[in-house]
Amino acid sequence: MFTDVELEDRLSRPSNADIEMIASLEGDLLILGVGGKMGPSLARLARRAADQAGAKPKRIIAVARFSNPALAEQLQAVGIEPIASDLLELGALDRLPDCPNVIFMAARKFGTTGAEHLTWAMNTYLPGRVAERFRDSRIVAFSTGNVYPLRQVAEGGATESTPIAPVGEYGQSALGRERLFTYGSHTWGTPVSILRLNYAVEMRYGVLSDIGRAVFERRPVDLRMGLVNVIWQRDANSICLRSLAFCSTPPNVLNVTGPETLPVRSVALHFGEIFGLPVEFDGVESGMALLNDASKAHRLFGYPSVTAAELIEWTADWIRQGGASLNKPTHFEAQDGKF
């Protein structure tokens, strides 16, 4: 098993394609909402790629509330410029520096039920303001596969041309985010890429961690969402970074996930074999699942560098050796769109 330090290194290790992209990118990079699960490793990936590119010095600016000041200090220690800001606060966006390249990661999912107003503010109101404030920039905005409807298993994953039909207020508000960035793109000619992601994983967090820990702790594995797609977080961040080169007007929409469709039952049984433990299940497969077909992204960027089989092995080893968890369940099994 690799250590926490080695995991962070792997999550932020740039590929040659990342380095080439950063070398060709004009201007600095501003990341909004860097404090989430993917943001810190994305910022480090961009910093390392820029340093290895050996081109003109490039600022990597990371914006978040930084409720944990240690994160800001860690980013600053590796040459990333942290800015503490509550982006919903009036005037907060105006105080940020102009930047030709913007990645928008700020979002809200968990805790939506009972606080729907805050989810809509973060996922729709704020993107509208960001689209206006950075209308002269190039913007990559994270979205989610939750904007698609659940699919019959036989249909396979949704493509970018699949009709939109989000289930629940989180998915609806995420679609609102897309619509506001699209509005900005049409109104001001802003080049935009929209990334519909599900699901990024690493050893401490994600669908595979949820399933593996349930098996290891002898808890039943929920089978309602019988199939899932996953992608190694570093690969998802690499696609995000390289999507700056594919921003367009109207926006370029990309599904982001791995090529494999994983049966939850089989994944759980595989973990059981590795751990030498019996596997308990709760419920049965519904025959409907939230699935993405990321063939378009794979044609642009190639297949992910880490396979689902490798991710399962890595995750099992991490759990078995007592590796840390972020303790943030994904609730991937939810089919009612309530989070």
| DSSP states along 140-167 | EEEEEGGGSPPEEGGG-PBPTTSPP---
How is residue 97 annotated by DSSP? P
Domains of the chain: 4-200+232-258 (3.40.50.720)
Q: Do residues 142 and 197 make contact, with C-beta atoms less than 8 angstroms apart?
A: yes
Q: Is the pLDDT of residue 120 over 90?
A: yes
Q: What is the pLDDT of residue 55?
A: 65
Task: Give the global pTM.
Answer: 0.96
- Who wins on pLDDT, 136 or 109? 136
Q: Quick one: pLDDT band at residue 273, thresholds 50, 70, 90?
A: very high
pLDDT tens digits for range 209-243: 999 999 999 999 999 999 999 999 999 999 999 99
Q: Is the pLDDT of residue 111 over 80?
A: no
* Pairing of the two strands 227-228 and 200-201: unpaired
Q: What is the pLDDT of residue 220?
A: 98
Q: What is the pLDDT of residue 1?
A: 67
Q: What is the pLDDT of residue 28?
A: 97
pLDDT tens digits for range 49-107: 999 998 677 999 999 999 999 999 999 999 999 999 999 999 999 999 999 999 999 99
Query: Among 228, 245, 298, 255, which residue's Cα sits nearest to residue 161?
Result: 255
Integer CA distances (angstroms), 323 to 12, 40, 157, 202, 317, in order: 19, 19, 32, 12, 8
pLDDT tens digits for range 5-53: 999 999 999 999 999 999 999 999 999 999 999 999 999 999 999 999 9
pLDDT tens digits for range 164-182: 999 999 999 999 999 999 9
Count of C-beta atoms within a 10 Å radius of residue 275: 16
Query: Among 66, 52, 60, 98, which residue's Cα sits nearest to residue 79?
Result: 60
